[in-house]
Structures are given as structure tokens and as C-alpha cells.
Amino acid sequence: MSKFAKKVYDLTSRVPKGKVTTYGEIARKMGKPRASRAVGAALRANPTPIVVPCHRVVGQDGSLRGYGGGSGTPTKAKLLKKEGVSFRKGKVDLSKSLFTGF
């Protein structure tokens, strides 16, 4: 596993239940603001879903991006709703659920 992926997993693991962060926010926190796609690629290869809660990472506009578990993004939505994440018009309501306190 690369150092980059380890850092992505470490930051993702800090997102609490009921909150989400974005791929871009993780990239910014790592000092690589243009690496949001690389963050997504690392999360796609996540060897321990739920332990590293990649379902808590969403697009910049609150949209659900790919998810490798279950039936994909419907499973991601189900997990987030179960954790109390707020949705509005089919997207995560970032005004209520965004976590940036790494």
C-alpha cells in the first residue's frame, strides 16, 4: 500500500458517524488540492470498507460517487442514512453533514 493511500485511509477514518467529507477536502488536507481523483482511486481500492468508512466520502456537491460495496451507490446512501446523514434532493446536505475538522 502506498504512503498516499495510507494517508487517505487515515483521514477517512477520522470522519465521524453522521458526517461526510469530500474527495477534494481530503486532497486539500493532504496538501494536494488537485488530487481528488487520486483520493477516489485510493478509496476504490480500500481493503477494509466500514473500518475505513469510504462511504462517508462524497462529491463536492454532495452527490454520491461510486461505492464498491453491496449494490454500489444505493448501498452508500443506505449506510449514510442509517448513520443520520441529511439528504436534500438526492444529495447529501453538506450544510448539515460536512466534516472538515481533521
Which one of 1.10.10.10, 1.20.1050.140, 2.60.120.260, 1.20.200.10 gives the CATH number of domain 3-97? 1.10.10.10
pTM for the model stands at 0.93
Does the annotation mark 54 as catalytic? yes
Task: Break the chain into its structural domains and give their ranges.
Answer: 3-97
Q: Tell me which of 54, 57, 92, 94 is the catalytic residue.
A: 54
Segment 25-65, tens digit of pLDDT: 999 999 999 999 999 999 999 998 878 999 999 999 999 98
Could you write out the DSSP letters of every residue in the chain? Answer: --HHHHHHHHHHHTSPTT-BEEHHHHHHHTT-TT-HHHHHHHHHT-SSBTTB-GGGEE-TTS------STTSHHHHHHHHHHTT--EETTEE-HHHHB----
